[in-house]
Amino acid sequence: MNWRRLAAMAHKELIQIFRDPRSLLVVVAMPILLMFAYGYGISFDIKHVPICVLDRDASQQSQDLLKHFQASEYFRVVKVANNYRELNAAIDAGRCQLAVVIPWDFSRKLAAGGKVEVQAIVDASDNNTANVSMSYSEAVIRGYSQQVQLEWLQRHGLAGASTASAPIRVDARTWFNENLESSAGIVPGVVVMVMAVVGTFLTSLTIAREWERGTMEQLISTPVTSMEVMLGKLAPYFVIGMLDTTLCAVLGVLWFDVPFRGRWSVFFLSSTLFLIVVLSLGYFFSVVGKSQMAANQMAMLATFLPTFLLSGFIFPIDQMPVPVQVISWVLPARYFMTIIRSVFLKGTSLAQLQTNLLALGVFAALLALLATRAFHKRLD
C-alpha cells in the first residue's frame, strides 16, 4: 500500500466526479430529490378524504351532523348532492371516496328518541383508504350521537349523569411517534433508501468507466495495486456518501420535523458501516459488469427493490411470511433500517443496538472483502 498512489487515485476520482455533470447530479440532486419524493410521496396518514353528502332531511339536526363531518380534519366535503343520481355520479367519477346519506326522517326519529340510521357509501377500490375512512366516519357519528344523548339527558334534568355516558374509555398513549404520523417512520427509512441507492449507484460506475473509456489499459501498466485502486476510488465516494447521509438526516429533522432522539455518534457509526456495505457492493458490480450500463442496472436491482420491500421500510418484517423473513436476514439494509429508526425516534442506546450493529459490521467486512477480491489487474 502506497499513500502517494492512493492519494493520486482519490484526487483523480474527485476531479472526475466534479467535472462530470451526471455524477454531480447523482451526488447532489438525487439524495434531495429522493428525500422529497419519498418524504411527501409515501404517507399512510389519511386526511381530508373527499366526501359527498346528501341531506334528505334538511333539518337543523341533520345539518348539525354534517357540520361534524365538515369540522373533522379527516374529511373534506366536496359535494352536496341533491339526489342519489348526483351522489352516484360523484362516486363513479372518483370525485369523492365516501358519501354520507341522511334519511328524510332523521330529525323526526331523533326527536322521538328512536334509533336512526345514517347511510355511508364508500368507494372500496382502495381498500386501505376505504377501511380507514369508514372507521373515521363511524367515529364522527359516534361523537355526534354521544352529544345527542348528552343533550337529551341534560334536557331531562339529569346533568349529573353526563359522566356516565361513556362508562369505559380507552386512553391510548402512543410512544415514539406521539401523533402517529407516518412521516416519522418513513423519513428515517428514506435516509436508508437514499444511502443504499446513491451509494451503490456512485461506485458502480467507477471501474466500468475505466474499462469503457479504455483508460484501464494505461492504468494496468502502472505499478498501482488493486487495493490502491479500490481504496483510492472508494475514499472520495465515502466522503460524499457521508455528506449525503448527513444532508438527508438534517433535512429529515429540519424540514420533515422528525425527532432525532438518539446520539449522532451511533448514527455516524452505523452509517459508516452501511456505506462500506453499499460502496463495496457498487464497486463489485462495477468490476463484474464491466460496462457502466450493466453495472448500474445490477446496482439498482440489488439495492432499490430489496431495500424498498424487505428492509421493513414500508412493510413490517414480522408480518411477512417466514420464508420472506429469512431472506430479509441477508439484507444489510434491514439491520440499518432498525438502527436508524431507533436512533431517530427512540433514542435507543448503543448497547441495545449491538446485535444489529454487529450484523451490519459483518456484512461490511464481507462485502469489502468481496470487493477487494473481485478486481484483478489483468487485461482480459
Q: Which residues bind other proteins (CB under 8 A)?
A: 2, 4-5, 7-9, 11-12, 15-16, 19-20, 213-219, 221-225, 377
State in angstroms the smallest separation of the CB of 233 from other proteins: 13
Task: Provide the minimum distance between the beta carbon of 285 and other proteins in the complex, in angstroms, as a whole number.
Answer: 22
Residues 224, 228, 234: CA angle, nearest 5 degrees: 135
CB 136 to other proteins: min, Å = 57
User: Please, which residue, 217 or 257, has the CB nearer to other proteins?
Assistant: 217
DSSP assignment of 266-296 equals: HHHHHHHHHHHHHHHHHHHHHHHH-SHHHHH
Rounded Cα distance, 270 and 350, in Å = 10
Of 167 and 223, CB closest to other proteins: 223
Tell me whether residue 19 or residue 169 sits nearer to other proteins (CB atom): 19
DSSP state string for 33-59: HHHHHHHHH------SEEEEEEESS-S
Which is nearer to other proteins, 165 or 215 (by Cβ)? 215
Query: Phi, psi (5° rounding) for residue 100?
Result: -115, 125
Beta carbon nearer to other proteins, 290 or 377: 377
Please give the single-letter amino acid code of residue 301. L
What is the spatial distance between Cα 316 and Cα 336, in angstroms, rounded to a whole number?
14
- Using a 10 angstrom Cβ sphere, with 0-12 exposed, 13-18 middle and 19 or more buried, the burial of residue 268 is middle
Taking the least distance from each CB to other proteins, the nearer of 113 and 214 is: 214
Query: What φ, ψ does residue 32 adopt, rounded to 5°?
Result: -65, -45
Closest CA to 284 of 192, 379, 363: 363
CA angle 160, 166, 170 (to 5 degrees): 135
Q: Toward other proteins, which CB reaches closer, 12 or 109?
A: 12
Closest CB 221 distance from other proteins, rounded Å = 4
Say how far apart CA 145 and CA 323 lie, in whole Å. Answer: 47
Least spacing, CB of residue 224 vs other proteins, in Å? 5
Query: Shortest Cβ distance from residue 370 to other proteins (Å)?
Result: 23
Nearer to other proteins, 234 or 251 (CB): 234
CB of 220 to other proteins, least distance (A): 9
How many residues are there in the chain? 380
Q: How many other C-beta atoms lie within 10 A of the C-beta of residue 26?
A: 19
Shortest distance (Å) from residue 8 CB to other proteins: 2
Cα separations (Å) of 87 from 50, 79, 82, 107, 248? 13, 8, 8, 21, 45
- Among residues 9 and 87, whose Cβ is nearest to other proteins? 9
98 strand-pairing partners: 51, 122
Contact 71, 118 (CB under 8 A): no
CB of 375 to other proteins, least distance (A): 14
We find the least distance from the C-beta atom of residue 260 to other proteins, in angstroms, to be 39
Angle at 373 between CA 243 and CA 197, to 5 degrees: 30
Specify the residue, 59 or 292, whose C-beta has the smaller distance to other proteins. 292
